[in-house]
Structure 1
C-alpha cells in the first residue's frame, strides 16, 4: 500500500480492521513520524528549518507563514493540512490519521490534543480503528490544553477556551468552554 492509497482509505471514513494492510501502513508511518519528530524536537532549529522538517513530516509543502513551537507530536503526520498564518504552540499533539484540516489565521495553544481516531464499541472488534476528520475554520483559536475529539468541526472565528474537551461541532464565531465544551456566548457579545 502506498501513501495515496492509505490516505484515500482513511479519508473515506471506513473502519480500519486490525490486522490489515491499512493497519500495517499505520505502523510504518508511526516509525517514520518518530524518526522525523526526534529531529524536530531534540535540537534547536530556525523557523525555516522547523517548516522544512514539518514539510518532511507531512510529505507536502508548508507555506512560509507557519509558526510552530516544538516539541510537536504526531503518530502519522501525513494527513495534516495547514492554511496560511497558522500558529501551533509547544507540545501540541495531532493524531491525524483521520485527517486534520486547519484553516487560515488559526491559533492553537500549548498542549492542545487533536484526535481523529476512535475504536469500535464492539468488544470483538475493539482493536479496529474508526477515522474521522477534524476541521478547524479560518480565524479559530484553540486555547491551551484543549482536546478535540474525532469528527469535530470548529467554525470560522470560534474560540475554544483553555482546558475544554470538544465533543460536538462548534458554531462559527462562538466561544465554548468546559468538559464537555458548551456554548458560553457569541464572539464580541458581552
Structure 2
C-alpha cells in the first residue's frame, strides 16, 4: 500500500500527536493538569469518528477498507488484513497490527492506552477492547487511566468478548464468546466466563496440528 495515501489529520500537528501518544503510553492518568492531552485526544477522536463514518456508511471493496482503516490508525496495514464493517474506535492512533489480522463486524476498539495485535489474530463479532479506566474515587472519576492490551500471535477472540485495560493475551490463546477478560491469559490457554477463567490448555494434538500447518 502506498504510504502517501495515509493522510495525517490536517489540523493536528505531528509533534502534538507524538507528545500525546508518549503520555498515554506512559500509563499516567490524564487529569486537569494535563488538559492539553485530553483536548488533543478529543480532537483526534473527531477525526477518527469522521473516518469511521466513511468506512461504515456504504459498501467498500476490501482494498478500500484497508485504505480507510490505515487512515484511521495513521499507518499502513498489510495486504492480507481484513475487516468487516462496521467498526468504531474513539481514538485510532494507538492501534498496532501484525500481519494477516482479521477483525469481524461490530468491533469497538478504545485504544488510547495502546492496542497491540500480533500476526494471524482472529477477532470475532462485537468484540470490545477497552484500554481506559476511571478512578474509583468520585472526586477523581473524570481522570482517565490508560493501560495497553496486547494480543499474541494466532490468538482467537470470540464474539462479544470484552478485554479490559492492561490485559495480555498469550500466543495461540482462545477467548470464548461472551467472556470478560480481566487478567492475563497464558499462551495456548482457553478461557471463558465472566470474569474469564481458565477452561483448559490446548492439547498436544491441537498444538501439533497447528505446527503442521506452518
Corresponding residue for residue 3 of structure 1: 17
Aligned residue for 1:2, secondary structure, equals helix
Greater CA deviation, 102-111 or 121-130? Answer: 121-130
- Corresponding residue for residue 133 of structure 1: 148
Cα deviations across residues 112-138 of structure 1 (Å, max 9, x unaligned)?
000000001221110000000000000
Unpaired runs of 5+ residues, structure 1, are: none
Alignment match, 1:111: 126
Q: Which one of 51, 56, 75 corresponds to residue 66 of structure 2?
A: 51
> Which residue of the partner structure matches residue 139 of structure 2?
124
Matches within 5 A, 1:21-36: 21-36=36-51
Task: Give ranges in structure 2 of 5+ residues lacking alignment.
Answer: 1-14, 206-214
Judging by fraction of residues, say which structure has more helix.
2
The offset of 1:189, in angstroms, is: 6.3
Give SS of 2:37's match.
helix
TM-score, normalised by the number of residues in structure 1: 0.97
Check if 1:66 corresponds to 2:81.
yes
In the superposition, the TM-score normalised over structure 2's length comes to 0.87
Q: Distance in 1 between matches of 2:177 and 2:203?
A: 18
- Aligned residue pair count: 190
Q: For residue 63 of structure 1, report the CA deviation from its aligned partner.
A: 1.0
Aligned to 2:209: none
